Amino acid sequence: MNICFVGAGYVGLTSAVVFAELGNKVWLVDIDKEKIDLINNGKAPFYEPGLGELIKKHANSGNLTATTKLEQGVQNSKIIFIAVGTPIGKTGKADLSQVEAVVEEIGQCLNKEYKLVVIKSTVPPGTTKKMGEKLRKLNPKINFDVAFCPEFLRPGKAIEDSLNPDRVVIGTNNDQVFAILKDLYQPMKTKIIRTSIESAEIIKYAANSYLALRIGFIDQIALLAEEAKADILEIVEGIGSDKRIGSHYWYPGIGYGGYCFPKDVLALSSVFKNHGLADNLFAKLADLNRKRPELYVNKLEESLGGLKGKSIGVLGLTAKPGTDDMRGSQAVYFIQLLTAEGAEVRAYDPLGMEKAKKILENVEFCQTPEKVAENASALCLLCEWEEFESLDWEKVKEMMDGDLVFDGKRMFDPNAIERAGLRYFGVGV
């Protein structure tokens, strides 16, 4: 099929290369010329495992054409996916200005030829239909339908998730639209779920908010474990063995982060507020999660007898391992709190340092994980990259001035740390 993605970010670019890999002719549109030039030269504008190879392959195969001209993409395609950003607005509502701008522009380029406009950006219930009405008003003669297909990929596993999704949700009330999208997604050999547009819009928010809630839930229990001198990992094993609960997706730590969870939980809470339900679970979840870094910076301060002038080593800066995405990183917020208290921070991250340098002030970036330990009063793990598992604790002890290791992700073996003569302080223990 001839299809077009508008927005060459994590969702648009990944989906575009995956559909090109499946044999479709894909147009990819973005207003960022630098990004488009990179893609047409076979290069990835951000790190995602396998993405660079697929861009190169399909920039050459002719299946992927990137452009800044929306008209080109729209006129050459039957299906137009909108995958632009929906960041959080000032009041906690989803900011739909990028989606609205694209819809307006699409309205200018459509003619009598039939087009299917599919929103992939995460949007509040009712948005897709409103965008359809907007298109109709802009250009009453055009022949089009709208649908909503949520995206469930995880940064760090975006290609893998897009090629082998757990399910595809198609939100449409129209049989013909469903048939077109089913045909497109069929090669993915996964369960295809047809819902109304509004249900599909809610499915995306509900799925992300549930995952965030699991993290928020275990973080709350971790707090109790700390007070009661219990261990959250033992508790996770005990509760997770119940088949109704499951042992997967328990990540006690300094709170959920990333681009999507924080904004989607807030946006869902805002949808509830719009329906007169200001007192809702998601408002509380967002509030508790926001306070997690502060809670542990305070504990660190207490344990060190103050932070002013103390050298703190930080391991891990990105929102999650396997990506250079810094958006919504709890580690960044944690470090900003440390430096605001007068601590001197030295940091290392396998992929995120270039982006972190643009965000974090007064931080010294180191070339190796061991180097951050040099003269440090405390060493803090804030993102669980695999390479930190092999740290030589004897060497770390020799390099540090102090002896405190804060495990913000429960990645380390406390015994190995204590055997080296260091003090272990982990979330939920």
- Tokens representing 380 are 């803090």
Rule CB under 6 A: choose which of 135, 168, 232, 260 binds ligand NAD: 260
CB of 320 to ligand NAD, least distance (A): 10
Rule CB under 6 A: choose which of 5, 10, 19, 425 binds ligand NAD: 10
**Nearest Cα to 215, choosing from 277, 108, 292, 276?**
292
125 binds ligand NAD (CB under 6 A): no
Q: Are 309 and 344 within 8 A, CB to CB? A: yes
CA–CA distances in Å: residue 34 to residues 26, 39, 41, 172, 313 = 19, 9, 11, 35, 35
Candidate ranges 94-102, 305-313, 339-347, 405-413; the one touching ligand NAD (CB under 6 A): 94-102
CB of 29 to ligand NAD, least distance (A): 5
Residue 100, number of CB atoms within 10 A of its CB:
15
Which x/- pattern, by CB under 6 A, does the window 153-172 give for ligand NAD?
x-x-----------------
Q: What is the rounded distance in angstroms from the CA atom of residue 156 to the CA atom of residue 27?
A: 24
Q: Which residues contact residue 228 at a Cβ distance below 8 angstroms, ignoring those fewer than 6 apart?
A: none
In DSSP terms, which residues pair with 79 in a beta bridge?
3, 116
Q: Are 3 and 37 within 8 A, CB to CB? A: no
Q: What is the rounded distance in angstroms from the CA atom of residue 232 to the CA atom of residue 226?
A: 8
Candidate ranges 3-11, 217-225, 338-346, 409-417; the one touching ligand NAD (CB under 6 A): 3-11
270 binds ligand NAD (CB under 6 A): no
Rule CB under 6 A: choose which of 63, 67, 77, 122 binds ligand NAD: 122
83 binds ligand NAD (CB under 6 A): yes
| Residue bearing tokens 């709170």 | 255
84 binds ligand NAD (CB under 6 A): yes
101 binds ligand NAD (CB under 6 A): yes
Using CB under 6 A, count the residues that bind ligand NAD.
26
Binning the chain into helix, strand and coil, the percentages to the nearest 5 are 45, 15, 40
12 binds ligand NAD (CB under 6 A): yes
Q: Are 405 and 378 within 8 A, CB to CB? A: yes
Which residue stretches of 305-405 are H helix?
A: 330-340, 353-359, 393-399
Which residue stretches of 24-126 are H helix?
A: 33-40, 51-61, 70-75, 97-109
Tell me whether residue 260 is one of the annotated catalytic residues: yes
Residues 19-78 that bind ligand NAD (CB under 6 A): 29-32, 35
Candidate list 4, 260, 366, 380, residue with the active-site label: 260
Candidate ranges 1-9, 344-352, 368-376, 382-390; the one touching ligand NAD (CB under 6 A): 1-9
Rule CB under 6 A: choose which of 148, 250, 259, 333 binds ligand NAD: 259
CB of 145 to ligand NAD, least distance (A): 21
CB of 156 to ligand NAD, least distance (A): 9
Residue number closest to ligand NAD, CB atom: 9
121 binds ligand NAD (CB under 6 A): yes
**Nearest Cα to 417, choosing from 380, 367, 366, 364?**
380
Candidate ranges 2-10, 241-249, 375-383, 395-403; the one touching ligand NAD (CB under 6 A): 2-10
- Report the residue number, 215 or 260, with the smaller CB distance to ligand NAD: 260
**Nearest Cα to 365, choosing from 392, 351, 346, 379?**
346
Where on the chain is the footprint of ligand NAD (CB under 6 A)?
6-12, 29-32, 35, 83-86, 98, 101-102, 121-122, 151, 153, 155, 259-260
Tell me which residues are annotated as active site.
260
